[in-house]
Structure 1
Amino acid sequence: MTHMREYDVVVIGGGPSGATAADDLARAGRSVALLDKAGRIKPCGGAIPPRLIRDFDIPDHLLVAHATSARMIAPSDTAVDMPVGNGFVGMVDRDIFDEWLRARAVANGAERRTGTFDRIERDADGRISVIYTERRGGRELRLHTRSVIGADGARSGVARAELAGAARNPCVFAYHEVILAPQAALAAAADFDGGRCDIFYQGHLSPDFYAWVFPHGDTASIGVGSANKGFDLRDAVARLRQQTGLDACETIRCEGAPIPLKPLKRWDNGRDLVVTGDAAGVVAPASGEGIYYAMFGGRCAAQAIDAFLSTGRAAALKQARKTFMRKHGRVFWILGIMQYFWYSSDKRRDSFVKICKDPDVQQLTWDAYMNKELVRKRPMAHMRIFLNDMRHLLGLGSASASR
């Protein structure tokens, strides 16, 4: 086994969360090894809000499309358009976006390693070694380090090895097909809009989540998610493509993966390690949004590790989860309730889409999504939304009746 230098931190996993953590720590002057197995592209709609673009300095050339509206489609085929307004949602291709983030971390001082994580070992003095198998050549290599960040995705090997209960974290399974975007006549026939994200709340496409058609410039992502292990995701995507008229488009690639929808109760091992991103379960319930939360979580992990390295106090590692949940925990709680209730039947999905017709709902939804903060202004708008929701829940009338 080959021995190498000692690092301040080894980051295991080079997705948005791990790459962000590695970049922040390298910029802070820490010696960083970024271990990524490479070649994997996560199934993802690829939407990033303006807050992410601002906070993480994302250049415009990475945005393959600007989405200016969303369309919600109910089981009854009722469609509700939700225009963004003056802004836009950026769309990225994960293969290009993730690699750019990794390259930025390397440019700022992180050392990149390519291979598959195997295990973590500690000697009698508590010194840590991360063992991985080299991608080319298959050699087993050892990285000595003072600390570890596990950012190796859902079903994280790091989390399972170091954190009690991590293996039981529930997941939604996602599958999508990347197609060449339809042109001219076919786009019109399929009602495909290169500036609109279509979201299908239909039980035959997903019994407990949703399906989507998201534009990516020259391509598009058509996908579906479900926690029902007996549900055939590939068949659902095939039916969605037929339903939308996109079955004639060329398929470029297909990808599938589990996506956690519940943050772990603990992100650190109380000793020398913290997890982040999908490994920590930070994908938003109901929406399935993960890129912003992964990158913010990576930043939180980097800050916690930096404090640990400076002080030697393992208690500093707890700050990663505390900081994240203080900022976004309430949003995750609200979205979890929404998913549990509104996605439970087609009748409720129809009501949910009808509620989305309300201009107050649309404005407050976009404000919260774009800025990643709960909107506390306009109390009368919140009251109208509450009354609207109650009418739908109790079956007392249409959305317009409450206005």
Structure 2
Amino acid sequence: MSPAEYDVAIIGGGPAGATAAYELAKSGASVLLLDREGRPKPCGGAVPPRLIEDFAIPSEQIVARVGSARIISPKSQAVEMTIDGHRRRAGTSYVGMVDREHFDRWLRRRAQAAGAHVEQGTFDRVEERTGGGFALNYRDAKGARVSCRSRLVIGADGANSAVRRQMFSPAARPPYVFAYHEIVCSPESGDFDKSRCDVVYDGAISPDFYGWVFPHGPVTSVGVGSAKKGFDLKAATSELRRRSGLGDAEIVRREGAPLPLYPLKRFDNGRGVLLIGDAAGVVAPSSGEGIYYAMCSGELAGHAALEALRTNDVRALKSVRSEFGRMHGRTFFILRMMQYFWYSSDGRRERFVSMCRDPDVQKLTWESYLDKKIVRREPMAHLRVFLKDMSHLMGIAKA
């Protein structure tokens, strides 16, 4: 039998790959979506209202609704940031929480319902064919070797992308933060608040990033990220669980993976291969947020791939990087500078948490997060935040 042929082969069925497959399939393209089931990545699972609205996520996928975040400093200074009153647009005023194991599977099923061929298997190799297109090899769920062909390839296979390693220069590799989390059973009694996320800025928990406690209804994600080699993420997570009153909570599962620190300079290789999601580095600096940006890159990839198929010109794939930068480049730059400065020492973390008490800081933070763009409508609020920020930078303000 001749190998199956597709317009687009997508390697990786997480939020990025599944969204790209859905966009392509609903427009009539033939799509292979290859995914290794049963490998959810460590992720707090937070999704903003913008994602829920833009990608039509049904309410049953939202396992918890968070109305506030508590920011905790190295000296245990705790600042609660409540969402209420900070929603600009009509719609929800909470942060939704998803369980990646079930959420990713739902996204793949949606792509399949739109017409994508979803295959469970392990990617092996992709090669360019003489005369154009690609030959792919993978093992199916039973371990059998399978070959297929496609006109385009989209790599959505995570931070350690095999597609990137095979089809891009070795230099196309962003620096990483390594993340580890434990999913534990949420307490049914006591002081544990299932409607609040905790974000811990403490060098003992993470020397260069942060720790998190994110409730998902019946379970809670407790995790830590760090780029520092040799730092014991598991020990830090155990300490964070102890501090949060979850030291004796039953552990459901443990997961770890690298998270890229910033996007690649180029998402396509100029020959018909495109990277999206973690493979392209579209994870927000300072926060590590990736689900919304992954799905955004997947949607852009679907549109660009359709144009490349229509025109038979792979240069259309370049638009994904430029359009993503236009939409989110300013936000990523600000977050990157914020991480570089405020996460560099416990003294600066202490000042950073103090800044979070300010109503202007809270207002701009929530409005920018919930709508996924830097809010520009109140220049005086920005000016006040800038002046306060400078007073903390120069050590004038009290921590």
Query: What code does the residue aligned with 2:200 have?
Result: F
Task: Normalising by structure 1, report the TM-score.
Answer: 0.95
Amino acid corresponding to residue 187 of structure 2 in structure 1: P
Deviations 1:279-313 (A, max 9, x none): 00000000100000000000111111111000011
Find the counterpart in structure 1 of residue 66 from structure 2: 67
2: CA distance between counterparts of 1:308 and 1:99? 28
Post-superposition Cα deviations, 1:46-80, rounded to whole Å, max 9, x if no partner, equal 00000000000000001110000000000010000
Q: Any idea what the Cα deviations from partners look like across 1:155-207, whole Å, max 9, x if unmatched?
A: 1010111122455310100000001001213xx1xxx2100000000000000
Q: Is the Cα–Cα contact under 8 Å of residues 186 and 219 in structure 2 kept in the other structure?
A: yes
User: Is contact 1:159-1:166 (8 Å) kept?
Assistant: no
Alignment of 1:66-145 (within 5 A): 66-86=65-85, 87-136=93-142, 138-145=143-150
How far apart in 1 are the matches of 2:136 and 2:2? Answer: 11
Larger CA deviation: 165-174 vs 307-316 = 165-174
Quote the residue 2:89 is aligned against. none
Matching of residues 2-401 of structure 1 within 5 Å: 3-86=2-85, 87-136=93-142, 138-165=143-170, 168-185=173-190, 188=191, 192-398=192-398
2:56 alignment partner AA: D
C-alpha contact 1:163 1:266 (8 A) present in aligned 2: no
Tell me if the contact between 1:155 and 1:167 (Cα under 8 Å) persists in the aligned partners.
no
Q: Is the 8 A contact 2:133 2:152 kept in 1?
A: no
Question: 1:325 Cα shift?
Answer: 0.7
- Report the TM-score, using the length of structure 2 for normalisation: 0.96
Q: Secondary structure at the match of 2:336?
A: helix
Q: Is the 8 A contact 2:260 2:283 kept in 1?
A: yes
Number of aligned residues: 392
SS of aligned partner of 1:161: helix
Are the counterparts in 1 of residues 172 and 264 from structure 2 also a CA contact under 8 Å? no
Alignment partners' CA distance in 2, 1:346 and 1:122 = 50
Aligned to 1:30, what secondary structure does the other structure show?
coil
- Runs of 4+ displaced beyond 3 Å: 165-168
Contact 1:160 1:166 in 2 (8 A): no
Which consecutive residues of structure 2, in runs of 5 or more, have no partner in the other structure? 86-92
- Deviation of residue 135 (structure 1)? 2.3
- Mapped partners of 1:285, 1:397: distance in 2: 26
Paired amino acid for 2:385? I
Q: 2:221, 2:117 → 1: CA distance?
A: 32
CA distances 1:190-232 after superposition (whole Å, capped 9, x unpaired): xx21000000000000000000000100110000000112100
Using the alignment, how far apart are the partners of 1:33 and 1:3 within structure 2?
16
CA distance in 1: counterparts of 2:266 and 2:136, whole angstroms? 21
**Of 7-16 and 390-399, the range deviating more from structure 2:** 390-399
Given that residues 200 and 210 in structure 1 are in contact (C-alpha distance below 8 angstroms), is that contact kept between their aligned partners in structure 2? yes
RMSD: 1.1
- 1:146 is paired with a residue whose SS is strand
| Aligned-partner SS, 2:182 | strand
Deviates more, 1:116-125 or 1:19-28: 116-125
Distance 1:78 1:93 in 2: 30
C-alpha distance in structure 2 between counterparts of 1:265 and 1:56, whole Å: 26
Letter of the 1:335 partner, please give it: L
Provide the C-alpha distance between the structure 1 equivalents of 2:171 and 2:206, rounded to a whole number of angstroms. Answer: 26
AA at the equivalent of 1:272: G
Q: Distance in 1 between matches of 2:140 and 2:61?
A: 29
3-state SS in 2 of match to 1:184: coil
Instruction: State percent identity of aligned pairs.
Output: 56
Offset at 1:242?
1.4
Question: In the alignment, is the contact (CA less than 8 A) between 1:8 and 1:147 conserved in 2?
Answer: yes
**Secondary structure at the counterpart of residue 43 of structure 1:** coil
Distance 1:57 1:4 in 2: 35
- The more displaced of 54-63 and 157-166 is 157-166
The 1:273–1:146 alpha-carbon spacing in structure 2 relative to 1, beyond 3 Å, is: same
Distance in 1, matches of 2:171 and 2:110, equals: 30
> Would the aligned equivalents of 2:73 and 2:202 in 1 still touch at CA under 8 Å?
yes
Instruction: Quote the offset at 1:243 in angstroms.
Output: 1.7
Which whole-Å CA distance do the structure 2 matches of 1:3 and 1:265 have between them? 37
Q: Is the 8 A contact 1:166 1:264 kept in 2?
A: no
Structure 1 unmatched runs, 5+? none
Q: Which amino acid aligns with 1:125?
A: G
